[in-house]
Structure 1
Amino acid sequence: MPHLPDIQTRLTPGMGFDAALDAALGLVGDAGFTAVIYDYTPVPRTHDGVLITPNILEARRVPADMMQLWRSGFYQLDPVQDAALATAAPFVWSGLGRQSRVMETVLCRRHDPVLGYMRDMRFSCGVTVPIHHPGGDLATFTAICIDPDTDFSERAGALAPLVGVIGQSFHEIARAGFSGETRRSRHMRLSPREAQCLSLCAEGLTAKEIARKLDRSVPTVTLHLNSAGRKLGAKNRFQAVARAAHYRLLDAAL
């Protein structure tokens, strides 16, 4: 089982993403796990509560079809991701047996396809580390045991803090290399001018005042505001501003 000095030696700042994920797999492998998954999203859910497929979704030693399934819709049905949004502590889950308390609070029939896949693939247990950022970003690092020894699931809870340290250490290395594009939500996009007009609207400016500030005509500003509202599915400008803020489209607009 790895110790803190091992983690610090094998996961070091400046490593590339792939090398760091391989090192993280080796560390959790020393503790008895067989696979890892990592994902990162700047905005975890849509404005109406649906999980957004993350900007980064990478794995090591999972079944060959798993990442394709998750990118094509299984991610939205994954109870582990729902649980990760409900807690900040590493937690244990199982595809075959007893669930931890946080998993029990989120499980419903909607998750049946993913639970069925876990059973079929013999995902006996896993430990997921939720990593929440103040701006709302979410990353998860998951160590999985596929067909472990019969007593491993009982030990997984005791290993959760260790997986937490490995997951956090890996994430800090990975996050240091994120581009600006990676840190922006890909679920919803506005043009720079649409975002700028909505940002000024959020400050309380009228279309006439925005037009004066940007040296554009009022009809042009109105066109941008209406276009942004349609993209966001908003009924009015107040809702458009709220939804744009949810997707963090106003953060760098001005």
Structure 2
Amino acid sequence: MHTIIDLLKRDIGKASSVGGIVDAAHDVARRAGFDAMIYDFSPVATTPEGTLVIPSHLSHREAPADMRQLWCEQKYHQHDPVQQIALKTSAPFVWSYRQNGRHTALASHLKKEHEPVTAYLHDTNLTCGITVPLHRSTGGFATFTVIQKDAGPSFIRDTRDVLQSVGLMGQIMHDAALPHLATDQTQATIAALTPREAECLHLSAQGHTAKEIADQIGRSVPTATLHLKSATAKLRARNRAHAVALALHYRLIEL
């Protein structure tokens, strides 16, 4: 497996885009005995209430074309038990939807809310895999998943032998892909604040009044207030303080 890791580093080093990096990682995953691969990234892991944030980037290889639409637009991602487990651990783990996840991380975890995801993965033969959680100190959250289709009865035993190496593969791929993600994919998509709205919220977070904010941005108090109200509305916040809290949580501003 060390040869596979060396091969991954070499091939990723030749790639100049996220797509190229994903292709290189998928090629190496296939050499390691896996068929499909999925990589997703969210600049913020959860909402303030603890719900998974829909990924700003999702790439997959040898998975159905409608997966992106289901996971991102129909929000299957928020009800994906593998993602829910990944959120709470930093260690790579083996999972299987067969026999209700018996002997894997899914055991005793599957619930009624997971049924649409479970049914889809059974229908598409994506029932057995390894997921690598990738938590960043800045709050970003990604997962790297490899899947073996038509996995045999020894899948769980066999894949545990390569768990550490797959974890290293995921880390290498993620570190290479992150700098290539578009700016709008590395920022939370909850609201598209203008630079001026973000600036006004940032000043508000520092404790400045509307008048002080107006003085700092060189505009009138009504204009500064308008920017703050617009940001509050975009964030669907109850008030200015709530807007500041949300902007900080989603890293739209920083103190």
- The normalised TM-score by structure 1 is 0.90
- Structure 2 distance, partners of 1:47, 1:28, is 35
Cα 1:116–1:2, aligned 2, differ >3 Å: closer, same or farther?
Answer: farther
The match for 2:187 is: 184
Counterparts of residues 113-152 of structure 1 (less than 5 Å): 113-152=116-155
Report the residue type matching 1:92 in the other structure: V
SS at match of 1:123: coil
* Cα deviation digits, residues 67-86 of structure 1 (max 9, x gap): 23222222222111111111
CA-based RMSD: 2.1
Q: Which moved more, 1:179-188 or 1:143-152?
A: 179-188
- The structural deviation recorded for 1:35 is 0.6
Counterparts of residues 8-157 of structure 1 (less than 5 Å): 8-12=9-13, 14-73=15-74, 74-97=76-99, 98-99=101-102, 102-104=105-107, 107-157=110-160
Report the residue type matching 2:230 in the other structure: S
How much identity, in percent, do the aligned residues show?
42
SS at match of 1:54: coil
Q: Show structure 2 runs of 5+ residues with no match.
A: none
Indicate yes or no: 2:223 matched with 1:229. Answer: no
Does the 8 Å contact 1:198/1:241 carry over to 2? yes
The match for 1:159 is: 162
- The structural deviation recorded for 1:6 is 3.0
Does the 8 Å contact 1:96/1:122 carry over to 2? no
- Structure 2 distance, partners of 1:198, 1:231, is 12
- Structure 2 distance, partners of 1:89, 1:13, is 28
SS at match of 1:43: coil
Report the residue type matching 2:69 in the other structure: Q
- The structural deviation recorded for 1:199 is 0.5
- Structure 2 distance, partners of 1:224, 1:14, is 42
Q: Which moved more, 1:226-235 or 1:110-119?
A: 226-235
* Cα deviation digits, residues 2-55 of structure 1 (max 9, x gap): 633333333326543223222211222122211100111112222333322212
Aligned residues: 252
Q: Show structure 1 runs of 5+ residues with no match.
A: none
Does the 8 Å contact 2:15/2:21 carry over to 1? no
